[in-house]
Structure 1
Amino acid sequence: MENVNVKPATGKLGVLCVGLGAVTSTFIVGTLMARKGLAKPVGSLSQLATMRVGKGKDKQYKKITEVVPLTDLNDVVFGAWDIFADNAYESAIHAEVLKEKDINPVKDELEAIKPMPAVFDQNFVKRLHGTHVKPEASRWDLTEQVREDIRNFKAANNCERVVVIWAASTEVYLPLSDEHMTLASFEKAMKEDNKELIAPSMCYAYAAVAEGCPFIMGAPNLCVDTPAMWELSKKTSTPIAGKDFKTGQTLMKTVLAPMLKTRMLGLDGWFSTNILGNRDGEVLDDPDSFKTKEVSKLSVIETILDGEEHPELYGNIFHKVRINYYPPRNDNKEGWDNLDIFGWMGYPMQIKVDFLCRDSILAAPLLLDLVLFSDLAKRAGRYGIQDWLSFYLKSPMHDFEHKPVHDLFQQFTILKNNLREMGGYEADECVD
């Protein structure tokens, strides 16, 4: 083993969630139940996975918690902001993701998690009407209020460290502008209260990173994916990650598309449609919010199946994505995919996938891993874009000099190699 300077996970870790809806409440309930031994954290690599370290006669398989010093679940303290005043128990009941019998054993702890008023601008999330929001103020003043919230939460809960994670709605599409290109121009826009180009999510991201708290963007919002925020994260030596949790349909794409490429099978078209009935579905029913999500979902296929590298196989793919708001399904999302592929001598074939998934059930373990791994990165002295966390993300952040990796199995190798390095082991490309 090499000597790696990773600070130990001492003291309490505060986890501040932007949004206390279906995803966050499911994440919190599951974590509280898991640490009582009343539920299994299925889907969480940090809690369940083993990985190989060493090669040849030195080869060992260890749990990730044995490879790197992760925060123990008993040391996690939860807080949140939300545009509605419901506490975590009320939110979990209202979301109807989990049964009451799976919520009630931690009812007292959940009722104690009361959200702080949120930064809200209805122009960015047109279908929601927030009632538990901070008073009207400039973007800069709102950001200062969020910074104060973080400091107060940290002190009140005796936390050594804090991680902030966005699990709120998809904002309307916001293109990268000059104001986002440098930290100076970004701060100027905030102080001038530029409500067109500074989204509410940016207030949280700036506040977290300015306070030295890792920030994770779980929606496809532009938010932290700007040179200005990359600059701030380096200035404060703070890790950032994003964007958009990879849960249902896109997870399938990052598995199926590499299969086509590995076997050199061609693709003419990929049609994807979803029905979703929760608050996320309602928000995405607005065309401007859907555009943000569409850009995130469309990038996967084109990146994995490179039409320039293999024009005869992938040079003319027709890729269509649709999301339909359908209240009867609530959080139980259904994603249909139709792939028109072709094989030997150009003969056509089809693949059809019907994934009846539970959105928050798939997302909750991603939040847990992203929070624990971002905290690990901070203690390891890492900062800036944590591209090794792309495994969990639909539209992985990257700077202008690099292309994102979308292939799930390549992402998994990158994830494990970063954990090996932080655990003092040698990174390698050997198949486990």
Structure 2
Amino acid sequence: MPPQPAPPRTGLWLVGARGGVATTAAVGCCALQQGLIGSTGLVTELPPLAAAGLRDWGQFVLGGCEIRAGELPQAALDAGLPPALVAACGDELRAIDQRIVPGVVHNSGSAVDQLAAGDAARRFDTPRAAVDAIKHDLDRFRESERLERVIVAVASSTEPPTDATRLPDSWEELEPLLATPHDCPLRASSLYAIAALESGCGFVNFTPSLGASCAAIDQLAIQVGACHAGRDGKTGETLLKTTLAPMFASRNLEVMSWVGHNILGNADGRILSSQENKQSKLGCKDAALDALLGREPGDGPQSLVSIEYVASLGERKTAWNHVHFRGFMGVEMTLQVTWQGHDSALAAPLVLDLARLLDASSARGERGAVGALACFFKNPVGAPLEGHAEQFAALLKHYAGRHSAEASDH
């Protein structure tokens, strides 16, 4: 009997490849491929999506880029992952290390610049030169690993906000600015988005940075026939908010204030101790609470969100929410919720889920922002901000429902 051809493979290119989230995703993917862990925490392993025709974990090959020196096995231990599991995945992690190249630093803010270590980071004279270098990395990854498709996922440190007033609405107007080092307002996350889309790759922005979340870059995606998803992974406090806020609205309870306080100690927390970088994160966390509560814009509750860096906590993140609300006959009440979690262990499985799902969208020929992936993000592109239940229903309809319909047609 002639040998069977190897199954087609998809590459997952992680930007910030030795950070806590990407490292945890790498260890998780290796462990899944070896059958060392279960599927807890993976949305795509829920029964409706497990039957949706997504690629197996063994069909994914990981690579990426990083602006810091280091090695994945040590990064995994630094992220608080079980030493025995890291050791069991050691050979695979060292193989991924060989596919990690120096990352690009461009207009990313002083806090990110301070992370960049010597030869581990690259800088270019123009944004276009940076984009072309990233495209070369992606092409080489695709060719050397014989990949059918590639998904680029940004899991790097949060950049300061991009000045939206300087962004043109069309790709035709934005593209020439890439040749001008001083006139182009884009930061590195958006250069990765442009490079991915121009290379025909799917693009995921798991950070609060701009990435592909502007009209001009979305227009590029549609023109070249590529798809993207983002923005800012929804893993803890905002997951609670998008679940609890519709509950208050459905009971006609008047929320008068909603205060959230977050403390964490990993590299993400250290970057967010910079005020300019923190603004990107706060903007995503505080988005559209009025709409979730069924209130008109500007008519919602007082809302405050804070994030503080506490070095001793490492990956352990605590989010405390205080909700002051009014009920029947004006009686005032309070809900207090404390969420304590391992930041990267909450985020990493979602990155892996998004790689599988966006790979499926790429295979279908979907273009532009994939709004059906909104349930994964704080500030989703391509879809309105809704309650988590509505977002999850849209996810199942788009992937599980569509796969069932396609299967019945055949």
The CA distance in 1 between the partners of 2:250 and 2:405, in whole Å, is 29
The CA distance in 2 between the partners of 1:122 and 1:210, in whole Å, is 21
Code of the aligned partner of 2:102: P
Aligned to 2:3: none
Q: Within the alignment, does 1:73 sit opposite 2:57 as a pair? A: yes
| Aligned 8 A contact 2:263 2:310 in 1 | yes
Aligned-pair CA distance for 1:178:
4.4
Aligned to 2:387: 407
Aligned mate of 1:286, from 250, 271, 274? 274
Code of the aligned partner of 2:392: F
> Mapping of 1:22-101 within 5 angstroms?
22-47=20-45, 49-51=46-48, 64-66=49-51, 68-95=52-79, 97-101=80-84
Aligned-pair CA distance for 1:177:
3.0
Q: Within the alignment, does 1:375 sit opposite 2:338 as a pair? A: no
- Secondary structure (helix, strand or coil) at the match of 1:410 reads helix
Q: Within the alignment, does 1:338 sit opposite 2:322 as a pair? A: yes
TM-score when scaled to structure 2?
A: 0.92
Aligned-pair CA distance for 1:300:
4.0
Q: Within the alignment, does 1:167 sit opposite 2:132 as a pair? A: no
Aligned to 1:317: 301
- Secondary structure (helix, strand or coil) at the match of 1:118 reads strand
> Mapping of 1:169-248 within 5 angstroms?
169-194=157-182, 197-248=185-236
The CA distance in 1 between the partners of 2:182 and 2:172, in whole Å, is 14
The CA distance in 2 between the partners of 1:27 and 1:164, in whole Å, is 13
TM-score when scaled to structure 1?
A: 0.88
| Aligned 8 A contact 1:41 1:365 in 2 | no
Aligned-pair CA distance for 1:10:
4.8
Q: Could you list the per-position Cα deviations for residues 160-206 of structure 1 after superposition, in whole angstroms to 9, with x for gaps in the alignment?
A: 11000000011001131343421122111111123760101111100
Aligned to 2:109: 124
Aligned to 2:94: 111
Greater mean alpha carbon deviation, residues 187-196 or residues 145-154: 187-196
What runs of 5+ residues in structure 2 fail to find an aligned partner? 1-5
Aligned to 1:397: 381
The CA distance in 1 between the partners of 2:377 and 2:168, in whole Å, is 22
Code of the aligned partner of 1:355: W
Q: 1:333 to 1:300 in 2, by over 3 A?
A: farther
Code of the aligned partner of 2:8: G
| Aligned 8 A contact 2:207 2:233 in 1 | yes
- Secondary structure (helix, strand or coil) at the match of 1:299 reads coil
- Secondary structure (helix, strand or coil) at the match of 1:126 reads helix
Aligned to 1:423: 403
| Aligned 8 A contact 1:255 1:408 in 2 | yes
| Aligned 8 A contact 1:10 1:160 in 2 | no
Aligned to 1:59: none
The CA distance in 2 between the partners of 1:184 and 1:416, in whole Å, is 35
| Aligned 8 A contact 1:388 1:414 in 2 | yes
| Aligned 8 A contact 1:89 1:103 in 2 | yes
The CA distance in 2 between the partners of 1:36 and 1:285, in whole Å, is 38
Code of the aligned partner of 1:396: P
Aligned-pair CA distance for 1:277:
0.3
| Aligned 8 A contact 1:268 1:340 in 2 | yes
The CA distance in 1 between the partners of 2:169 and 2:299, in whole Å, is 32
Computed over aligned residues only, the root mean square deviation of the Cα atoms, in angstroms, reads 1.8
| Aligned 8 A contact 2:107 2:188 in 1 | no
| Aligned 8 A contact 2:108 2:188 in 1 | no
Matched residue count: 395
Aligned mate of 2:8, from 11, 28, 33? 11
Q: 1:195 to 1:172 in 2, by over 3 A?
A: farther
Aligned-pair CA distance for 1:134:
1.4
Q: 1:124 to 1:269 in 2, by over 3 A?
A: same
Aligned to 1:60: none
